[in-house]
């Protein structure tokens, strides 16, 4: 079993612009250990801030209750015991001690000789042991050290490897490695120190982090470090999602991570950070399980010719078939089958032509648009319209909260509500929730994502496409609205959602 140590809460928080709240940190810690089943998590750097101390205490208290306290780790420093006091006061019992893994760092940053640095490390380790704190040791800038000053690295290992250090953590701090030298350097460390447990910590500056992790595992390291969505300084760290896929499929290395929860945790972290997952990011990107070309959908109908081992169901996702100018009948049929709609060949031809026409105009078509396109082309309702917006008024004044008054008809009954919000659409949604939850006593979908696409060119009258993702009774779906006014576009997307859930009753 390879150990997975996730450092989203420490190294991942060094992503520019990312700072988790105390409750967000606790939530992510629970997701990592309870849902994903990673082996260990690094949750903080000692001495950073009072907020960091509060979140560390909260996570440690929860971890003790769950029996996880030995799986919680904190970055500490060779600072005369100050970090150790901070860690002990937070209730944690494992320090990831930061030492220098290259002669340059030791000489020019610490301004100490290697012997002086070793003695300082030994003193800190003795203090930690006396306090009941277990020690893992980071050799910061190890990749440069093993490349430029290997004797320094070996002297450090010779001096420290017999001490009470659980793991030596060998980081590619500046992301300079490639798979060839990663394998060579890791192999040399393991050959020289066969009784030592090594963790490899990759950075992604050359987009090689996952490949380097694969090489390190093949060389025989015992643990690897990841972050959710590849968060981290500069280009980030090795993303957990891709690492697990590679471990499971490419090198068949056992690990304890629960694949089907990866996408869920990635989306939660995306929400907390505001750092959007690229649509083409492997495993968790929005488009990676979407077939665009019609020939691919046709091949999937013929013995799954365009499937690989990365089946979306493994990661809690489903395969989708995009609708646009590259779509063929096979793509459209896949979407119609999912909606339970059957069309004859002539109707299929007309629908295909309309979707291609919309694609040429750079309008995105979702599966939820299909019933409306069909109704427009065939002049018949393939999905019953049971919700109508009769009237609404949105007011916006300087220094005042926007207010929305809304009147809708649901199954021939009329309802009216007024609400204020942080924006016009927020006020509209709050009025709508009042109707569904207050007057009807019914569940209301959760809005999970909201994005706007505006064509380039700077025209103020250009059409705006608003895409809204929803979750309702365990189902996720997306609706689109198109209008010159962004709020109107959002309301049109919302009306499609209302009719969809009404037809799900």
Write the pLDDT tens digit of every residue in 297-326: 344 444 556 567 888 889 988 777 667 665
Q: Do the beta carbons of residue 41 and residue 73 sit within 8 Å?
A: yes
Mean pLDDT of 5-31: 95
Band of the pLDDT at 504, cuts 50, 70, 90?
confident
pLDDT of residue 440: 92
Active site residue 140: yes
- Which pLDDT band, with edges at 50, 70 and 90, does 330 fall under? low
Which one, of 452, 456, 398, 399, lies nearest residue 425 by Cα?
Answer: 452
| pLDDT tens digit sequence for 402-420 | 999 999 999 989 999 999 9
Catalytic residue among 10, 93, 167, 333: 10
Phi, psi of 490 (to 5 degrees): -65, -40
Q: Please report which confidence band the pLDDT of residue 78 belongs to, taking 50, 70 and 90 as the band edges.
A: very high
409 has catalytic annotation: no
164 exposure class (CB count in 10 Å sphere: 0-12, 13-18, 19+): exposed
Distance from C-alpha of 164 to C-alpha of 160, rounded to nearest angstrom: 8
For the chain, the average pLDDT equals 89
Scored b (16 or more CB within 10 A) or e, 8-36 reads bbbbbbbbeebebebebbbebbebbbebb
pLDDT in tens, 40-63: 999 999 998 888 999 999 999 999
pLDDT digits (tens, 9 = 90+) for 346-402: 877 887 787 777 766 656 666 666 766 776 666 554 456 889 999 999 998 888 889
Q: Quote the pTM value.
A: 0.74
pLDDT, tens digit, 9 for 90 and up, residues 209-263: 999 999 999 999 999 999 999 999 999 999 999 999 999 999 999 999 999 999 9
pLDDT in tens, 87-125: 999 999 999 999 999 999 999 999 999 999 999 999 999
pLDDT of residue 459 exceeding 60: no
Q: Show Cβ contacts of residue 412 under 8 Å, excluding neighbours closer than 6 positions.
A: none
Task: Return the SS3 of 416.
Answer: strand
Task: Exactly one of 13, 42, 52, 140 is catalytic; name it.
Answer: 140
Under the banding of pLDDT at 50, 70 and 90, the label for residue 14 is: very high
Using alpha carbons, select from 344, 343, 377 the residue that is nearest to residue 358.
Answer: 377
Q: Are 402 and 423 in contact (CB under 8 A)?
A: yes
The CA-based angle 329-332-338, given to 5 degrees, is: 140
Q: 334-339: which pairs have CB atoms within 8 A and are 24 or more residues apart?
A: 334/297, 334/300, 334/301, 335/367, 335/370, 336/370, 338/367, 339/367, 339/370, 339/371
């Amino acid at each position: 079993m390879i150990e997975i140590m996730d450092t989203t809460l420490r190294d991942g928080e060094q992503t520019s612009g990312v700072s988790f709240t105390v409750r967000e940190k606790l939530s992510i810690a629970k997701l990592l250990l309870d849902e994903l089943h990673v082996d260990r998590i690094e949750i903080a750097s000692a001495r950073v801030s009072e907020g960091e101390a509060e979140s560390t205490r909260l996570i440690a208290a929860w971890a003790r209750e769950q029996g996880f306290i030995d799986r919680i780790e904190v970055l500490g420093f060779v600072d005369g015991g100050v970090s150790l006091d901070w860690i002990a006061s937070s209730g944690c019992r494992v320090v990831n001690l930061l030492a220098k893994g290259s002669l340059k760092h030791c000489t020019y940053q610490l301004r100490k000789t290697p012997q002086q640095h070793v003695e300082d490390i030994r003193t800190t380790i003795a203090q930690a042991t006396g306090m009941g704190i277990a020690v893992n040791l980071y050799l910061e800038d190890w990749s440069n050290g093993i490349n430029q000053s290997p004797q320094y690295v070996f002297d450090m290992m010779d001096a420290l490897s017999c001490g009470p250090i659980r793991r030596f953590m060998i980081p590619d701090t500046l992301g300079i490695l490639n798979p060839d030298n990663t394998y060579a350097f890791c192999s040399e460390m393991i050959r020289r120190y066969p009784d030592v447990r090594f963790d490899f910590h990759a950075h992604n500056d050359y987009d090689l982090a996952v490949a380097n992790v694969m090489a390190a595992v093949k060389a025989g390291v015992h643990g690897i470090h990841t972050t959710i969505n590849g968060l981290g300084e500069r280009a980030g760290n090795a993303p957990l999602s891709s690492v697990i896929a590679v471990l499971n499929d490419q090198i068949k290395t056992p690990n304890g991570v629960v694949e089907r929860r990866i996408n869920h945790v990635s989306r939660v972290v995306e929400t907390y950070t505001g750092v959007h997952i690229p649509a083409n990011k492997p495993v968790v990107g929005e488009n990676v399980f979407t077939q665009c070309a019609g020939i691919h959908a046709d091949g999937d109908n013929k013995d799954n010719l365009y499937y690989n081992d990365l089946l979306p169901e493994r990661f809690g996702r489903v395969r989708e078939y995009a609708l646009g100018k590259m779509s063929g009948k096979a793509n459209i049929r896949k979407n119609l089958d999912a909606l339970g709609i059957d069309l004859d060949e002539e109707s299929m031809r007309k629908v295909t032509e309309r979707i291609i026409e919309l694609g040429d105009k750079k309008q995105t078509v979702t599966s939820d648009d299909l019933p409306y396109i069909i109704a427009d082309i065939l002049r018949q309702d393939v999905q019953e319209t049971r919700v109508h917006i009769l009237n609404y008024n949105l007011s916006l004044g300087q220094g005042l909260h926007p207010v929305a008054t809304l009147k809708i008809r649901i199954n021939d009954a009329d309802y009216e509500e007024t609400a204020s919000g942080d924006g016009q659409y927020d006020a509209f949604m709050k009025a709508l929730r009042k109707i569904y939850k207050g007057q009807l006593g019914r569940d209301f979908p959760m809005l999970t994502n909201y994005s706007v696409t505006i064509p380039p060119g700077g025209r103020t009258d250009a059409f705006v496409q608003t895409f809204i993702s929803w979750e309702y009774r365990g189902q996720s779906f997306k609706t689109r609205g198109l209008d010159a006014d962004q709020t109107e576009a959002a309301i049109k997307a919302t009306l499609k959602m209302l009719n969809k859930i009404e037809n799900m009753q």
